[in-house]
Amino acid sequence: MIRVLVNGMGVIGKRVALAVKKQDDMELVGISDAAFTGPIRTLLSERGELYGTKLYCSAPQFCDSMKEQGIVEGLLENFLKSGGVDVVVDASPKGIDAKNKEMYKKYGVRAIFQGGASAGIADVSFNSYTNYDEARGKQFVRVVSCNTTSLARTIGSLHKKYGVERAFVTLIRRATDPPKVKIGPINAIVPDLKVPSHHGPDLKTVLHGVDVFTMAVKVPETLTHIHVVEATLKKEITTEELLKTFNEHSRINVFSAGHGFGSNAEIIEAMRDLGRPRYDMPEVAVWKELTHAEGNKVYWMHAVHSESIVIPENIDAIRAMFELASQNESIEKTNKAMGIMKLNL
């Protein structure tokens, strides 16, 4: 049983903690946060059973009073020093993760960082499908961001089967997480000023040999990102073959607009109907009607539930680092434990 601690209880951290608890080869030995402020502190005080594990704080200046109040066991650093943790999934804010790394190094604890960190923070960037084996035995691994993960799955599956020469992707990004009410825009479209956006270069860290160019905008919406993709393959395929490739991928689901799923809101409603916790959708959603092949060019749009898509990749990354399972075994175990499945909607 690998002993896992999740550090940082934001959007990603709170989900990884629950996912770890569902695995039979891992144990959630604790969760930590700088100071557990805001909603998470209130929820944990009132509903300790939510995460069913011990709490640690990472900010020394707040730790004593929290310990006295019985909220936390103590300082994260002391727990790491004690040898009680095999791996930390670090989901702390950008900038903090780099500082944390020094602490993990000091105590010889392994760690997984998230896509918000720069690639240089880890020995390797990771996607379950495109480079699982590269994480074997590594101390520091970085799971690429939600957008990059979705492209690694879709473009990656085509690349493996047919070879992808080049892809041009427009990312239409939801502007923020649903509860972040201070962030806009309200009625505007805001381009990402970097051309290419960072997503293309980031994809290359986990998917080798594909030339990818990305541009991005933010729109006033909170559900999912949408990617519009044109990929040039090394051979000609049909629309049926394109669709089949996506259908065969265990973390891509194909939705049919003709069946009532003509927008990301209707797809998210299906997640609610299916009883998915938090309406999470760790699978990439591809629209059947929007897959299209012409010669060696293929086109599609997919939706990315940015809050949850990287959660299964974090779990797989743990298995890869500790060589607990082969790529296929890990993906299958994670999918089963998390309820990731082919939906045929």
Write out the catalytic residue numbers: 146
Q: Which is nearer to a second copy, 79 or 261 (CB)?
A: 261
List all residues 6 or more positions away from 205 whose beta carbon is below 8 Å from its beta carbon.
119, 125, 144
Dihedral sign for Cα atoms in the order 207, 210, 215, 217: negative
| C-alpha closest to that of 168 among 221, 115, 210 | 210
Alpha carbon distance 144, 114 (integer Å): 6
- Given 35, 96, 119, 343, the residue binding a second copy (CB under 8 A): 343
Check residue 172 for interaction with a second copy (CB under 8 A): yes
Check residue 336 for interaction with a second copy (CB under 8 A): no
Q: Torsions phi, psi of 106, nearest 5?
A: -55, -40
- Given 48, 83, 137, 195, the residue binding a second copy (CB under 8 A): 195
Q: Which is nearer to a second copy, 15 or 251 (CB)?
A: 15
Q: Which is nearer to a second copy, 17 or 122 (CB)?
A: 17
Q: Which is nearer to a second copy, 3 or 204 (CB)?
A: 204
Residues 214-233, interacting with a second copy (CB under 8 A): 215, 217, 219-224, 226, 228, 230
Count CB neighbours of 212 within 10 A: 22
Residues 139-158, interacting with a second copy (CB under 8 A): none
Q: Tell me the β-bridge partners of 286.
A: 254, 302
Residues 85-114, interacting with a second copy (CB under 8 A): none
Strand 2-7: give its sheet, edge to edge: 74-75, 55-57, 26-33, 2-7, 87-90, 110-113, 140-143, 124-126
Check residue 290 for interaction with a second copy (CB under 8 A): yes
Q: Are 56 and 75 in contact (CB under 8 A)?
A: yes
Alpha carbon distance 187, 291 (integer Å): 30
- Given 268, 304, 309, 321, the residue binding a second copy (CB under 8 A): 268
Q: Give min distance, CB of 265 to a second copy, in A.
A: 3
Site size toward a second copy, by CB under 8 A: 79
* Part in contact with a second copy (CB under 8 A); list of ranges 21-29, 79-87, 156-164, 209-217: 209-217
Q: Give min distance, CB of 306 to a second copy, in A.
A: 13
Q: Kindly state the tokens that stand for 219.
A: 């729109």
Q: Are 278 and 117 in contact (CB under 8 A)?
A: no
Q: Which is nearer to a second copy, 208 or 272 (CB)?
A: 272
Q: Give min distance, CB of 50 to a second copy, in A.
A: 7
Residues 12-51, interacting with a second copy (CB under 8 A): 14, 37-43, 46-47, 50
